Structure 1
Amino acid sequence: MASPSSSIRHRGSKKNVDAGSPPATPEVKSTETLSAVVKGKAEPASWEWDYRIAMVIVTIGAFITRFWKISYPDEVVFDEVHFGKFASYYLQRTYFFDVHPPFAKLLFALMGWLVGFDGQFLFENIGDSYIKNKVPYVALRALPATLGSLTVPVVFLIMWESGYSLPACVLSAGLLLFDNAHIAEDRLILLDATLVISMALSVLCYIKFHKNRHEPFGRKWWKWLLLTGISLSCVISTKYVGVFTFVTIGSAVLIDLWNLLDINRRQGKLSLFEFGTHFAARAFGLIIVPFFLYLFWFQVHFAILTKSGPGDDFMSPEFQATLSDNAMIAQSKGIEYYDVITIRHKDTKVYLHSHPDRYPLRYDDGRVSSQGQQVTGYPHNDTNNHWQILPEIAFPTENRTGHKVLNGHNVQLRHVVTDTFLLSHDVASPSYPTNQEFTTIPPEEAADKRRNDTLFEIQIPRGKSNEEFRTRSSLFNLIHFPSKVAMWTHTTPLPDWGFKQAEINGNKNAKEASNLWFAEDIPSLTPESERMNQEPRKVQPMRFLKKYIELQVAMFHHNNALTSSHPYASEPFQWPFLLRGVSFWTKNDTREQIYFVGNPIGWWLSSSLLAVFVGILGADQLSLRRGIDALEEIWGPGTRNRLYNSTGFFFLCWAAHYFPFYLMGRQRFLHHYLPSHVASVLVTGALVEFLFNIDPIALAETPSGSGPQKVRHSRQSLMAIWAATFAVLGVAIWGFGFFAPLTYGTPGLDVAGINARKWLSYDLHFAK
């Protein structure tokens, strides 16, 4: 099922033909003509020009539907606030952070640079005017519109190269051409047009590569193998869900390699060395080449973004030191013993804080506390955040200045306002019974029997031994010396007795990334202090791979953290049936809105035929168990191979891009289904041809190298397939036009018109 080709047998002949993708061609008028075609003596010219003309027509239609009124609305729409902003940051060379790889965003930046956009407009809010801010937004939108338009002929070519009939090609391309969801996504400054065309090109190039398998290591074989790898690289360099396309192509490649091991192959068995060369070539073209191209886009990303920006806080101090004008590095100062410092948590940004109030005798769950002084996380800077850092062994009074705090030192922290010392001990914390409580104790206890409990080690992860402890630039773990727990906080606030402030406790998992803190400032330094006048710090180099790995870890971490609710988020089971959409933009005075939703006619048909395909395979397997070969007897020899291998390959593509979303805990939206929808229209075209091929007469092979493998249809079959195609596209075009006002945002609809389009749970605006 995972291979896009099949072996077919001519009716009335014992000869096996190892064909390309599943065949399908126009009618052959006579047995003589068919015989001539099989022998390579004739090939109808219509096999070329009718397909070419049809492809030109659907391409023109795609450009019309994508570019129609592309200048409207002249305001920021939906996620243009993100991806338009990222283009601006590139043009300003200002560092930003995003959970998606850089390829598609770099394309937007390139387009902006080509049309003279200076990047000063930052796309801050939905509804901000492009006209007033003189933004060349039409040029920026033209990039995804062009890519989305070209996806339609790519789908046509996939069907053509897979050997399907002209009406099947027109049907698959037409369903994509008149789909409202793809059109809405393609007309805006968003990433999915790049993702979808890269995915479609990967499928097309692999089919072309597979068709050249009889001439391995030839020029065309290498060309299409490398183009497949390049296309795969573009997919995963746009969004990480591009890995699903790798799964699709990778599955087909593994089955292909498995077949090459077959000792009974018609072409003869391969030696293990020859098999190794096949494996190595595919690994090079489909893994190594895409990976290095993927790295290349990150290298471009780092080379452009050299200035400090809003993405600094996501990165380590070492990374930030590579950016010019970085405030953290510029304001960083070495910390000395007896300095008074403020300490903040890296993730939540709360300050380490204490006040005279004490923990209650009992918590809500009945546990007893130490009733010690509360230590909390406070979001605002005040004097209760001041802590004096003291050495493990006190320096003589006359020699207390100039001693630097270093990585690995044990220190005490004295709360300045209450003159108490930070302590952790074996008492359960208020919210986490498994974690240790943090409190403070008076100086006399800290100097005597409980001194060890007030000692904490400064640990700078990946820091050098005896590295200087500095404000802002030194992320550190504060490790309790006796128990080895790490000071930690979280976002759930304490009850009213804790003034809804953050809890501070001791995390037994000392290696957890959320244990990181930094010293923000040294309030005890006066403006006249010599330490305030330091030389400007130079930008520090950092190896590319180190920057790349750090960014990858941050991207995956924050992508997985996108679990908060969203009013327009949806679940994967809702997508194939188009149960709800997403509101992109509204304009109250004219009752205009852009509502992201597909063409229900096309989506419901494609989803239904996916189920029909599974049913056909199940019925075929059941009938074979009973000794009945219905597929071959009714539709002719080779039908099973064509249905399983080619249509099955498209179905695999759909499944690989759809089912993994059930495993994701992050926010999910309808646009995540767009690559799967492309695969579903391929299945639709293939199945409509199969179901309406009412009078198959033969399967024929075109002369070697002259074009795709074709199925020969009778006149009755072609008329039936064309009739089904026109019927489906006619209804789909009506559905496209009916929902077009919601796709293009204009014209505005009255209440009756809006309610008429609330077919399912579409939460449209202005419905009352």
Structure 2
Amino acid sequence: MARSPTPQGSLRQRNVASKQAPVESAFVPEVELDKLSKAALSSRRNIQRGELEHKLALTLVTILGFVTRFWGISHPDEVVFDEVHFGKFASYYLQRTYFFDVHPPFAKLLFAFVGWLVGYDGHFHFDNIGDSYVANKVPYVAFRALPAFLGALTVSVTYLIMWESGYSVPACLVATGLILLDNAHIGQTRLILLDATLVLAMACSLLFYIKFYKLRHEPFSRKWWKWLILTGFALSCDISTKYVGLFAFVTIGSAVIIDLWDLLDIKRRYGAISMPEFGKHFAARAFGLIILPFLFYLFWFQVHFSVLTRSGPGDDFMTPEFQETLSDNVMLASAVDIQYYDTITIRHKETKAYLHSHTDTYPLRYDDGRISSQGQQVTGYPHNDTNNYWQILPADNDQKLGRNVKNQDLVRLRHIVTDKILLSHDVASPYYPTNQEFTCVTPEEAFGERQNDTLFEIRIEGGKTGQDFKTVASHFKLIHFPSKVAMWTHTTPLPEWAYRQQEINGNKQITPSSNVWIAEDIPSLPEDDARRHKEQRKVKSLPFLRKWFELQRSMFYHNNKLTSSHPYSSQPYHWPFLLRGVSFWTQNDTRQQIYFVGNPIGWWLASSLLAVFAGIIGADQVSLRRGIDALDHRTRSRLYNSTGFFFLAWATHYFPFFLMGRQLFLHHYLPAHLASCLVTGSLVEFIFNTDPADEEPSRSKNPKATGPRRHITARERFAGKSMAGAWIACFVILAAAAASWYFFLPLTYGYPGLSVEEVLRRKWLGYDLHFAK
């Protein structure tokens, strides 16, 4: 029987065969191995040299970032622009006094923490632009050092974003240099403002997500979880500073959706995953990028409520129940039960206007030709006056005294001075044809043929049936009983026939909080009346989530109400072209001024290359449709994935502003501008194609060459020239940006003062600079 060869026999046969082989066959592999070894060594050295260059460049831009942000930070020693708001809020935190702001608390808490570290007690309230910090002994340099520090870190993070994305040193320097040398970023990070925190958090969210995405082939590892959670934390800091931080969630969320969609592909390059595995990926991202950020967001509000325990200027924005959780609150001391036949003053919660009437009547015709009732005018008046006095009467005309007015009671209101009764009827108001007119009629009419039209329901916000109606404490809506419209006012003044006072009308939409009024006082009640003397009440408590929901509603409402015009507001289409800026501060004696404007050269270049990128993508898609593949796989992948991610960040931080009706300023573009600088740096890489790793290692075209020596190919010579070209482009771009940065420095740093001629030379576009005459 034939046996199969044993392993030993097989080995012997292989040894014999190897002895019979030509000598050079044993020699060639040694040469190839030597070449590969040298190539690997050379590659390692190139990597090490590249990392050293990146580290040196990162160190340089970081140092320059700190220099440009901290240089002359003590000037001016006066309150500048919106420091009146955010410096004041830090003082309120330190005094634990409740205030209201439309922005979340994170960045403001950081300012308060800095003040606490340096021992500041919050005695200065930053009331007016130009108030002296030195005279009032305010550690303003410490406050300004916080955004300056964060702004300098933004420069470093911008470089790290490019480096982590695999770009060359010239590309990294271009993107970072445009942030480093930008006058708007510098100006905004040298003052007590929130945008330094916002922009750094946005940049960190991009960096952390890139580091997370690079670990996509190591899912659920410790590093993978670390960068996922850090991405969520950065996103939370972003939205916890300003609500426009939501745009970063859109950026990262879009990238995550694309990533998850790729994971679903059964034909994916790295192998399909099961649906349970996909569920784990989805759950992990939902936890790290939605749930954890939301918990962090809630945490800052918990700190906010824990610190602000005393009554303050923010009380009026909150409900009575909320206000009673604050110590020293006026409601705890002065809320008085309102009884029938009391004379009260009624004030609108939002506009602070009093319900007012006088003997003048509405005109026969309004400007648009509509006819009025010619009844007695009922208006909103900003000052306390006897024409604001109204007596509250029971609907049943019961003459019994001492009865408390209750929630949901039907009442009439008698105007004391003119002795007429408040009425609303189906006649269009002066400015709102869809809203009802408010007027007054004589008592004979009120208790006769028009008795139903003079009935109003007291509806206390959040009140229970039968709850006592109180001064100050009861926020209420006055609902016209027959027509079910709510008494409402707005800030647009009436014409001269009403002395430019506010219009009062009946709003068919009852639910808006703008319908809320407060019974401010009872002027007819003597100071020594028993109702005014109360036992000291204890501070109440509310569940955290109830307080949080109430504050959220108020913040969103008042944020949307910021629609009034401002001399330095601008529209989103102005921003990429830097058409106008914002005047922050002026000093007449020295002709110094701080004017918030970006680096024109840098902004125009970045905006131009955004259009170039869109054109490249469009041209590539058309070429592919026609069967022309002009880009290699690696270049196209980087163009669409990396540069496309930066472009997505720009778009999601820019285009939503077109949907907003509130006041907008140039600083709203800063996060989008950072993203546009990243696009600029990556296009420098694309144009010069400086990455030598996108091709296989070149080999000699001589197939007989067996030694370690190899020829330099055209590809390698081109790569060297491309790198030289990239460095030249980097130098030219940064030199131009540096020249523009230096030219506008007096407007950014606030010194030195400029002559008329020097000011005029800097009015490049619509820059409304001071001292131009």
Measured after TM superposition, the shift of residue 700 of structure 1 is: 7.1
Q: Which moved more, 1:417-426 or 1:553-562?
A: 417-426
Task: Give the aligned partner of residue 36 of structure 1.
Answer: 40
The answer to whether 1:744 aligns with 2:749 is: yes
The answer to whether 1:724 aligns with 2:720 is: no
Task: Give the aligned partner of residue 487 of structure 1.
Answer: 487
The answer to whether 1:202 aligns with 2:205 is: yes
Q: With the length of structure 1 as denominator, give the TM-score of the two structures.
A: 0.90
For structure 2, the residue ranges without an aligned partner over 5 or more in a row are 1-33, 698-714
Contact 2:158 2:176 (8 Å CA) reproduced: yes
Contact 2:174 2:730 (8 Å CA) reproduced: yes
Partners of 1:216 and 1:755 in 2: CA distance: 58
For structure 1, the residue ranges without an aligned partner over 5 or more in a row are 1-29, 702-710
Q: Which moved more, 1:321-330 or 1:728-737?
A: 321-330
Task: Give the aligned partner of residue 72 of structure 2.
Answer: 69
Task: Give the aligned partner of residue 99 of structure 1.
Answer: 102
Q: Deviations over 1:181-236 (max 9, x none)?
A: 11111111111111111111000000000011111001000000000000000000
Distance 1:356 1:68, change over 3 A: closer
Task: Give the aligned partner of residue 401 of structure 2.
Answer: 401
Aligned to 2:47, the other structure's residue is in SS state: coil
Distance 1:274 1:444, change over 3 A: same
Out of 667, 681, 688, the residue aligned to residue 684 of structure 2 is 688
Partners of 1:57 and 1:494 in 2: CA distance: 61
Distance 1:431 1:163, change over 3 A: closer
The answer to whether 1:760 aligns with 2:765 is: yes
Task: Give the aligned partner of residue 359 of structure 2.
Answer: 356
Partners of 1:127 and 1:643 in 2: CA distance: 49
Partners of 2:665 and 2:313 in 1: CA distance: 26
Q: Which moved more, 1:496-505 or 1:483-492?
A: 496-505
Task: Give the aligned partner of residue 377 of structure 2.
Answer: 374
Give the structure with the larger helix fraction.
Answer: 2
Measured after TM superposition, the shift of residue 316 of structure 1 is: 1.6
Q: Deviations over 1:674-704 (max 9, x none)?
A: 1111111111111111111279574479xxx
Partners of 1:765 and 1:404 in 2: CA distance: 60
Q: Which moved more, 1:421-430 or 1:577-586?
A: 421-430
Partners of 1:420 and 1:229 in 2: CA distance: 62
Measured after TM superposition, the shift of residue 31 of structure 1 is: 8.2
Q: Deviations over 1:289-325 (max 9, x none)?
A: 0001001101111111111111112112221111111
Partners of 2:426 and 2:386 in 1: CA distance: 28
Task: Give the aligned partner of residue 654 of structure 1.
Answer: 650
Partners of 1:208 and 1:694 in 2: CA distance: 22
Measured after TM superposition, the shift of residue 413 of structure 1 is: 1.8
Distance 1:590 1:369, change over 3 A: closer
The answer to whether 1:666 aligns with 2:662 is: yes
Counterpart of 1:648 in structure 2: which amino acid?
G
Partners of 2:238 and 2:181 in 1: CA distance: 24
Partners of 1:479 and 1:219 in 2: CA distance: 60
Aligned to 1:73, the other structure's residue is in SS state: coil
Counterpart of 1:56 in structure 2: which amino acid?
T
The answer to whether 1:443 aligns with 2:452 is: no
Out of 259, 262, 279, the residue aligned to residue 259 of structure 1 is 262
Partners of 1:733 and 1:240 in 2: CA distance: 33
Task: Give the aligned partner of residue 10 of structure 1.
Answer: none
The answer to whether 1:301 aligns with 2:304 is: yes
Task: Give the aligned partner of residue 19 of structure 1.
Answer: none
Partners of 2:342 and 2:163 in 1: CA distance: 75
Aligned to 2:184, the other structure's residue is in SS state: helix
Q: How does 1:703-714 map to 2 (within 5 A)?
A: 714=719
Contact 1:697 1:714 (8 Å CA) reproduced: no
Partners of 1:340 and 1:56 in 2: CA distance: 72
Partners of 1:694 and 1:168 in 2: CA distance: 9
Partners of 2:592 and 2:393 in 1: CA distance: 64
Partners of 2:178 and 2:416 in 1: CA distance: 71
Which has the bigger relative contact order, CA under 8 A and spacing at least 6?
1
Measured after TM superposition, the shift of residue 748 of structure 1 is: 1.7
Aligned to 1:557, the other structure's residue is in SS state: helix
Distance 1:56 1:327, change over 3 A: same
Aligned length: 722
Measured after TM superposition, the shift of residue 510 of structure 1 is: 2.3
Measured after TM superposition, the shift of residue 490 of structure 1 is: 2.3
Distance 1:293 1:333, change over 3 A: same
Aligned to 1:602, the other structure's residue is in SS state: helix
Q: Which moved more, 1:287-296 or 1:309-318?
A: 309-318
Task: Give the aligned partner of residue 350 of structure 2.
Answer: 347
Partners of 1:433 and 1:685 in 2: CA distance: 56
Out of 637, 641, 648, the residue aligned to residue 645 of structure 1 is 641
Q: How does 1:445-464 map to 2 (within 5 A)?
A: 445-464=445-464
Distance 1:42 1:654, change over 3 A: same
Measured after TM superposition, the shift of residue 440 of structure 1 is: 2.6
Counterpart of 2:742 in structure 1: which amino acid?
G
Aligned to 1:423, the other structure's residue is in SS state: strand
Counterpart of 2:558 in structure 1: which amino acid?
H
Counterpart of 1:415 in structure 2: which amino acid?
H
The answer to whether 1:217 aligns with 2:213 is: no
Task: Give the aligned partner of residue 85 of structure 1.
Answer: 88
Partners of 1:651 and 1:665 in 2: CA distance: 25
Q: Name the Cα RMSD after superposition.
A: 2.2
Measured after TM superposition, the shift of residue 33 of structure 1 is: 7.1
Task: Give the aligned partner of residue 136 of structure 1.
Answer: 139
The answer to whether 1:512 aligns with 2:512 is: yes
Aligned to 1:264, the other structure's residue is in SS state: coil
Counterpart of 1:45 in structure 2: which amino acid?
Q
Task: Give the aligned partner of residue 13 of structure 1.
Answer: none
Contact 2:315 2:323 (8 Å CA) reproduced: yes
Partners of 2:738 and 2:273 in 1: CA distance: 51
Distance 1:68 1:370, change over 3 A: closer
Contact 2:407 2:463 (8 Å CA) reproduced: yes
Counterpart of 2:272 in structure 1: which amino acid?
K
Distance 1:420 1:175, change over 3 A: closer
Q: Which moved more, 1:176-185 or 1:193-202?
A: 176-185
Contact 2:634 2:694 (8 Å CA) reproduced: no
Measured after TM superposition, the shift of residue 438 of structure 1 is: 2.3
Partners of 1:751 and 1:450 in 2: CA distance: 69
Distance 1:88 1:369, change over 3 A: same
Q: With the length of structure 2 as denominator, give the TM-score of the two structures.
A: 0.90
Contact 2:154 2:199 (8 Å CA) reproduced: yes
